[in-house]
Amino acid sequence: MGVGGSFLPLHLGGQGICHMRSASFFVVLLVLATIGKPPWAAAHNFHCKLPRSGEDRPHSVSITEFGAVGDGVTLNTKAFQNAIFYLNSFSDKGGAQLFVPSGKWLTGSFSLISHLTLSLDKDAIIIGSMDPYDWPIIEPLPSYGRGRELAGERHQSLIYGYNLTDVVITGGNGTIDGQGSIWWNWFNSNTLNHTRPHLVELMYSTGLVISNLTFKNSPFWTIHPVYCNYVFIQNITILAPLDSPNTDGIDPDSSTNVCIKDCYISTGDDLIVIKSGWDEYGISFAHPSSNISIKSIFGESKSGAGIAIGSEMSGGVSEVHAEEIHIFNSLHGIQIKTSPGRGGYVRNIYISNVILTNVEYAIRINGRYGEHPDDYYDPYALPDINNITIKDVYGVNISVAGLLEGIEGDIFGEICLSDISLNVTSEDSSWNCSYVEGYSYLVSPNSCQLLQKIPNDSSVCYSPADNLTLYSGGNCSSSSYVTLASL
């Protein structure tokens, strides 16, 4: 079913989605009935095609060949580790595939290798152990200086990779289930010993593809590419209870050339959030997130945002292009989060073609968000927030149109809003702005006075280049990557 000739996410028929399907379609139909045909129906589309990496692995084995038992009870960590150790001998021979057949495969954390495809059957479920000793303790990220939740070390993700090239995690919509409830309980009761693990974390890696899978119940952030280059994520479903703490969907972190498209995400926190390190650690590590494309995202978050940046953005975030975003029953539609002490920058952000339904804050920029890792941060390290364009946004049953709050002595500038129509619940729920400046055009209800200026020349508002190259070869694989043609 298309939206004004456009799309609905391709993955709605996947495992775990059927029970939401009617409600989700109803939301979209309600929006369309209210606002009519979206303006991007005739617009040029940008394309972010799946690279051909990993298509023809000459060697393939099944996890069962290494003694794994798919009964949901037997712990298969050693089987996964042994299988991957064996496949490493084929790394320089075209790579290899590890196949996970139908069954419930309980495991602790295991690490991937380069030139590997991890492929799940449609009825395969990889299940994370509920024993914390099956999730090893590893060093904190250098751009954070400590575990994100607790000082010191952190738990390794269920599926982990470090300094890899050409890795594919895919399947016929099989499932990876982190069984996160025990971790959420420990967090809520303040009994964690270390920062919770992610479901998938890949570090310092290049040429990554994650596609055609369902990810459920992550203990913490679900998919976390950090210090990575050339990352492609498509056709995935991410599910966690709406009250589960900090179960972000996809968190590109200090990573470049990232493409995320055609995803359904329903979690307890931000659906997609771009990060780049925390205060003085992120500033000194200086690994920005840049050249990030997000398209065709559909979902909800009780306490987060559909598309977010920050609050850890101290290494800088730039060149972000997001479009065709459908968010419902959520706290925020679009949010930028930062604070004094963060330093860094958020600039050249372009978000367009957004539908919001039953959202409390349609657009929010918060200059005083989040805590600090320790007492050594510089409170005078102020973030540079500028060149933010948000356009073609349509909302129904919106509590607050916009809350845009910069920092005294640190104006957030060149914020451009255009073609925004929000059906707010009362006259008092329009726009509230402070320490920001920029432009607006065709915004309803009328934007705040600080953004009332209409630009004489639209070029003052940031717009992405006509041909933004995301995948152009590099060291990802022998296959060529493709060009992203933007609006």
The single residue of 134, 253, 269, 270 carrying the catalytic annotation is 269
Which residues does 70 contact at the CB level (< 8 Å), separation at least 6? 64, 101, 102, 103, 104, 105, 124
Q: Tell me: cis bond preceding 245? Omega within 30 of 0 counts.
A: no
Residues 59 and 220 sit within 8 Å (Cβ to Cβ): no
Length of the chain (residues)? 487
**Tokens 């709605």 sit on residue:** 12
Going by the DSSP 8-state scheme, the letter that residue 148 receives in this structure is: S
Annotation says 457 is catalytic:
no
Task: Give the angle 62-211-29 at the CA atoms, nearest 5°.
Answer: 135
Quote the DSSP letter at residue 275: B
In 3D space, the residue among 44, 40, 48, 12 whose CA is nearest the CA of residue 27 turns out to be 12
Q: How far apart are CA 334 and CA 322, in angstroms?
A: 10
Q: Starting from the edge strand earliest in sequence, which strands make up the sheet with 223-226, in order?
A: 110-111, 159-162, 200-203, 223-226
Q: For the chain, how long is the longest CA-to-CA vector?
A: 69
Residue 417 and residue 436 in contact, taking contact as beta carbons nearer than 8 Å: no
For residues 307 and 115, give the distance between their C-alpha atoms in angstroms, rounded to a whole number.
Answer: 31
In 155-278, where does DSSP find H-type helix? 181-188
Catalytic center residues: 269
